[in-house]
Structure 1
Amino acid sequence: MDIDAFVTAHRPVWDRLDHLVKNRSSLTGTEVDELVELYQRVATHLSMVRSSSKDPLLVGRLSALVARARSAVTGAHTPAWREVTRFFTVSFPVVAYRARWWWLAVTAAFLVVSWVMGAWVAANPDVQATIASPDEITQLVNEDFADYYSENPAASFAGRVWTNNAWVAAQMIMYAVLLGLPIPYALYANAENVAVSGGLMASRDKLDIFFGLILPHGLLELTAIFLAAAVGLRLGWTVIDPGPRRRIEALAEQGRAVMSVAMGLVVVLFVSGLIEAFVTPSGLPTWARVGIGVLAEVVFIAYVIVFGRRALRENETGDIERAPDVAPTA
């Protein structure tokens, strides 16, 4: 880029934008429209200069001008509390709700696979023998399975569970970069773990203990993992079928929206981690522990349906409120 020619060509635009910004309190409607248009142009000029020039003075001048113009165009910054409120009432629930059919499909597939595999393990001693010896299975079903939830201090156990589950959920979303192809395998591996444990417990008539320990936290935990897998698969499918939009635009919009799910699930999995650490191993009756898990699940599903459906009616996508400011350039 010939920086001198670039400055000569665009200086009138910069000077005009500077004039409009300085007199923003007395602009007419036409001048306000001009201010917005010139702001987008100069923001694009700044991007071009940053990528093609090492002139710090020019970059500094344009950066300051764009910052002042943005303040004039957008007004005061949105209060932090409003951004947090929007996240939990719009961004997160609407992305989850829009992925509801993927979410249901993932849930159904997981349950079918784990149930069939668990029944196969429970009914076949030969299969059980390939997993562990009879003494090891007896040790697992009588002591180890239940002791897992109480062998560590509750606070540290909650932190470890939260970190692990958040990482699993993040992986499901990151796999979208590979069109979501690794997600079915990751789900299968988790279904296999659940099925083996459940099958071994069932083979020793301990299925009541299995569900009594799994359901309090597992309902919410697995629902969160299924949601992460669903949005990851949906994002991967966007690459294949972007719809009426350009592929890069659809992917950018969907990708930014999916990040809402990644952040929202951190909170959901924190709640499930607390339940797993403090409720699952507690001395409460089984019906009370399972009831707490069911209540947490119902509240979460209702939250997604109520807020997600409302946001969808308002044509929200979960994308950021203000997309990056750009103007066409040649």
Structure 2
Amino acid sequence: MDPDVFVSAHRAEWDRLDDLLRRRRSLTGTEADELVTLYQRAATHLSLIQSSAPDPRLTGRLSQLVARARNAVTGTRRASWRDVTRFLLEGFPAAVYRARHWWVPTAVVSTVVAAVLGWWIGTHPEVQAAIAAPDELRQLTRPGGEYETYYSSHPAAAFAAQVWTNNAQAAAMCLVLGVFLGLPVLWILFENMLNLGVGMGLMSSAGRLDTFLGLVLPHGLLELTAVFVAAGTGMRLGWTLIDPGPRTRRTALAEEGRAAVGMAIGLALVLFVSGAVEGFVTPSHLPTWARIGIGIAAELAFLAYVYVLGGRAVRTGTTGDLAADGRSAAVPTAA
């Protein structure tokens, strides 16, 4: 195909399409039909040029023209507050609810692992000696020591923001790295449980386990739940590669991946709440029972949010994936 001859033959159609696109807000019905027809022809022309005579300048011009025409014909969907509300009341809780068979066992097993590590460290002085020197351990665990002052070492707002950022990154890593068969997620989860177990064991050996729990539980219940949800969802995403079910592997991965991305946004909001509790409630002068009560209330509120709103949304067919008008159409396949 001679590019010059091809351009001469179809330039008038492209110029006409460009003119209609510039006036698309005031087109008559006949002109709108003409725009659709010229868009279809231009798309065909672009395909022919790319396959037969890939001239960079011509391809670039036609690609831009076809993209503009596509937006004019199909319309551009913009997010609205209705989408935000739907996500918060249906999409996110539904995604968490659907993944409960993964993150609930993850939470139970992880808690047991942290407790066993804490018991092992707390009852074996040789393990404690391998962690730090005796003077350093006393500095960590004494009244007014580093474990206690950690939560009040920075201004509350700055500390809450730092905690939120770190936890949101950890949750996002669990969700994203789950695609590697979930193996990196197990390591991230173990590191978190090891840190918890070390603190639990060292404070227990100093006879101050109650103080440690009083500092961790107010924010830790909701924070760890968010981490468990992220880890469980990440491992579920990895398992999708192995067993996609009745869907094709590509379709299953796309659906679960989109849900995981949405969950990362939702968990960032949950972790914002836990970060605020850690920054303002944990180091406060409230009685221990009041601080722990706030943590329990936040945890119960999240679980009710997931099981009530999420369960209701799932029963009406919501999966946590994008709405049908916000994702690409899938080709039907036979199971």
Normalised by the shorter chain, which TM-score bucket? 0.7 to 0.9
Identity %: 47
Among 265, 268, 271, the alignment partner of 1:269 is 271
Q: Cα distance 1:123–1:222, how it changes in 2: closer, same or farther (>3 A)?
A: same
Report which stretch shifted further, 145-154 or 173-182: 173-182
- Within the alignment, does 1:318 sit opposite 2:320 as a pair? yes
C-alpha change, 1:156 and 1:239, in structure 2 (3 Å) is same
2:65 is aligned, of 61, 82, 85, to: 61
Quote the Cα distance in structure 1 between the aligned partners of 2:39 and 2:327. 10
TM-score normalised by the chain length of structure 2:
0.82
Q: What amino acid is aligned across from residue 69 of structure 1 in structure 2?
A: V
The answer to whether the Cα contact below 8 Å between 1:42 and 1:66 also exists between their aligned partners in 2 is no
Counterpart Cα distance in 2 of 1:132 and 1:47: 68
- State the alpha-carbon separation in 2 of the partners of residues 39 and 307 from structure 1: 47
C-alpha displacement at 1:44, in angstroms?
Answer: 7.9
Distance 1:224 1:294 in 2: 14
Aligned residue number for residue 158 of structure 1: 160
Rounded Cα–Cα distance in structure 1 between residues aligned with 2:297 and 2:245: 38
- What code does the residue aligned with 1:181 have? L
2:309 corresponds to: 307
Alignment of 1:95 with 2:95, yes or no, is yes
CA 1:159–1:58 in structure 2 vs 1: closer, same or farther (change >3 Å)? Answer: same
8 Å contact from structure 1 (residues 219, 297) kept in 2: yes
- CA deviation after TM superposition for structure 1 residue 91, in Å: 1.8
Tell me how far apart the structure 2 counterparts of residues 53 and 90 of structure 1 sit (CA, whole Å): 48
- Contact 1:43/1:326 (CA < 8 Å) preserved in 2? no
How many residues align structurally?
309
Aligned to 2:123: 123
Q: What are the Cα deviations for residues 198-237 of structure 1, in whole angstroms up to 9, with x where unaligned?
A: 0111111101101000000000111111111111111111
Would you say the 8 A contact 2:181–2:235 is kept in 1? yes
The aligned amino acid for 1:144 is E
Give, in whole Å, the separation in 1 of the partners of 2:245 and 2:39.
27
Letter in 1 for 2:64: G
CA positional deviation for 1:189: 1.3
**Structure 1's 254 and 325: CA in aligned 2 closer, same or farther, altered over 3 A?**
closer
Question: Which residue number in structure 2 is paired with residue 283 of structure 1?
Answer: 285
> For residues 124 and 45 of structure 2, what CA distance do their matches in structure 1 show?
69
* Aligned position for 1:81: 81
Query: Does the 8 Å CA contact 1:117/1:195 hold for their aligned counterparts?
Result: yes
Structure 1 residues 200 and 41 mapped into 2: Cα distance closer, same or farther (>3 Å)?
Answer: farther
Match status 1:137 vs 2:137: yes
Q: Is the 1:46–1:62 contact (alpha carbons within 8 Å) kept by the matching residues of 2? A: no
Question: Which of 231, 234, 254 matches 1:232?
Answer: 234
Please name the residue that 2:252 is paired with. Answer: 250
Match of 1:259 in 2: 261
Q: Does the CA contact (< 8 Å) of 2:251 and 2:330 recur in 1? A: no
Distance in 2 between the 1:259 and 1:2 partners? 47
Shift of 1:41: 7.5
CA distance in 2, matches of 1:41, 1:123: 75
Q: List runs of 5+ in structure 1 lacking aligned partners.
A: none
- Shift in Å, 1:129: 1.6
1:39, 1:301 → 2: CA distance? Answer: 54
Q: Which letter maps to 1:231?
A: T
Q: Hey, what does 2:195 align to over in structure 1?
A: 193
Summarize the Cα distance change of 1:102–1:286 in structure 2 as closer, same or farther, 3 Å threshold: same
Which string of whole-angstrom CA distances, capped at 9 and with x for unpartnered residues, describes residues 36-70 of structure 1? xx999889869957896642442233223211221
**2:85 maps to amino acid:** T
Letter in 2 for 1:127: V
1:177 is paired with a residue whose SS is coil
- In 2, the alpha carbon distance for the partners of 1:313 and 1:262 equals 23
What amino acid is the match of 1:99? A
Specify whether residues 281 and 68 from structure 1 end up closer, same or farther in structure 2 by C-alpha distance, changes over 3 A only: same
2:102 corresponds to which letter in structure 1? Answer: W
User: Match of 1:107, as an amino acid?
Assistant: A
Distance 1:221 1:162 in 2: 9
Instruction: Identify unmatched segments of 5+ residues in structure 2.
Output: none
Change (3 A) 1:39 1:290: farther
The CA distance in 2 between the partners of 1:178 and 1:273, in whole Å, is: 29
